[in-house]
Amino acid sequence: MKILQIIPSISLIYGGPSQMILGLAPALASLGVEVTVITTDSNGDTGQQPLDVPLNKPIKQDGYDGYEVIYFRCSPFRRYKFSLDLLQWLNSHAHEYDLAHIHALFSPVSSFAARICRQKGLPYILRPLGTLDPADLRKKRQLKQLYTAVLERPNIAGAAALHFTSEQEAKISERFGVVTRDLVLPLGVIPASEILDKNLVRQQFGIPSDVPLVLFMSRVDPKKGLDLLIPALEKLLVSGLKFHFVLAGGNPQDTDYVEQIKTQIQNSPLQTNTTITGFVTGELKSALLQTADLFVLPSYYENFGIAVAEAMVRGTAVVISDQVHIYPQIRDSNSGWVCPTDVKELCLVIRDALQNPEERKQRGLNAQQYALQHYSWEAIGREIIKAYAKFIDNHHKS
């Protein structure tokens, strides 16, 4: 089985979508699938240098037979992670593959890739990344309506399936009148390779050892609910509750909003109880997730929430809104706390979590057990391979 994975960028600076590919592709390769990832060298949208990678040729990935990545120059529309070279390559090589898994809607390179797949008779799966959520569709509404009519509606209609990462995402997603076949499979996470000394992170950032560490780790974006979280934490601090807040994340596409949040915290009672790390990755990211006593993500809409699953697999209890679409799993497995997108309600659940360390610890253990069982890349890879085989077989029969 030869599978193409198509995504605008796999730079970690873009967060969850890139991380998904870097987990899925090796999982598929380890199960005997030949995987080629085609992507651009985009590494941020506000003046950052492109990824320092060879272009236009397969790069074999160490330790995995049959797994390669081909990077193409992001040109001419860098802001939209577009690449004519990528599309030309796809046009020439589509016939060599059995199926394409395309990650992103309303992204020109993905949209035109889907069109090329149809023209070349290559079946494809579309992963919307939450872009079919009605809340997301309201942003730039008129432009998206035009884009949908011209490009995305035919792409959705021609897809072998839409890949949603939760039942809730599938349930609420707009289909523009098209009847679709849905594939609902979660994202996977990689368990921590070692247990770290939690005091090291506290020492690095000067965080007292005797107060709970509350962690927000995600893209710093208006949809993530920081306008709920910051006032909630302020209220808790003023009421006498002791904790330290770590804000970890960035947003290369909206640096003005990042600066707005920094300024808000600097002018807040939280200032002396907050550490702002910026975008983190690698060992520091893993260490923060393991050290945190509570992970908080009160998003207004979130198709999955990969950072939530990453916190869970490291044994950290989570507080999320009921707009993070894996909230039923968190609630039913008692892996944390779920609340509406409301400052008062968020205050109450964070207070409950911080004031009950034994309950917090138990929910963290529940979270780890659930994540190891349900968010394993190997298990998810096996399910995706079954789906690929079915869609390829249906295509040949048709």
Domains along the sequence of the chain with CATH: 2-188+376-397 (3.40.50.2000), 198-374 (3.40.50.2000)
Residue 340, preceding bond cis, omega within 30 degrees?
A: no
All residues at 6 or more sequence positions from 380 whose CB lies less than 8 Å from its CB, including other chains = 24, 27, 185, 186, 187, 188
Residue 257 scores a pLDDT above 70: yes
Round the average pLDDT of the chain to a whole number and report it.
92
What does the DSSP 8-state code read for residue 276?
E
Contact yes or no for 389/98 (Cβ under 8 A): no
Q: What is the pLDDT of residues 267-276, one digit of tens each?
A: 999 999 999 9
Closest Cα to residue 186, out of 172, 167, 171?
167
- Count of C-beta atoms within a 10 Å radius of residue 267: 9
pTM of the model: 0.85
CA angle 173, 161, 76 (to 5 degrees): 80
Mean pLDDT of 252-275: 93
Contact yes or no for 172/328 (Cβ under 8 A): no
Contact yes or no for 209/365 (Cβ under 8 A): no
Closest Cα to residue 374, out of 278, 316, 309?
309
Helix (H) or strand (E) holding 382: helix 377-397
The CA distance from 312 to 289, in Å, is: 9
Kindly provide the residue ranges of all beta strands, DSSP E only, lying in the chain, ordered along the sequence. 2-6, 34-40, 59-60, 67-72, 99-103, 124-127, 161-164, 182-184, 213-217, 244-248, 274-278, 294-297, 318-321, 336-339
Expressed in angstroms, the distance from the first to the final Cα of the chain is 19
Q: What is the pLDDT of residues 133-153, one digit of tens each?
A: 898 888 888 888 888 898 999
Contact yes or no for 339/296 (Cβ under 8 A): no
Share of the chain above pLDDT 90, in %: 72
Q: What is the pLDDT of residues 342-376, one digit of tens each?
A: 999 999 999 999 999 999 999 999 999 999 999 98
Rg (Cα) of the chain, in Å, rounded? 21
Token pair for 56: 């236009």
Token pair for 321: 């809104």
Q: What is the pLDDT of residues 294-318, one digit of tens each?
A: 999 999 999 888 899 999 999 999 9
Token pair for 28: 């598929």
3-state DSSP assignment of residue 167: helix
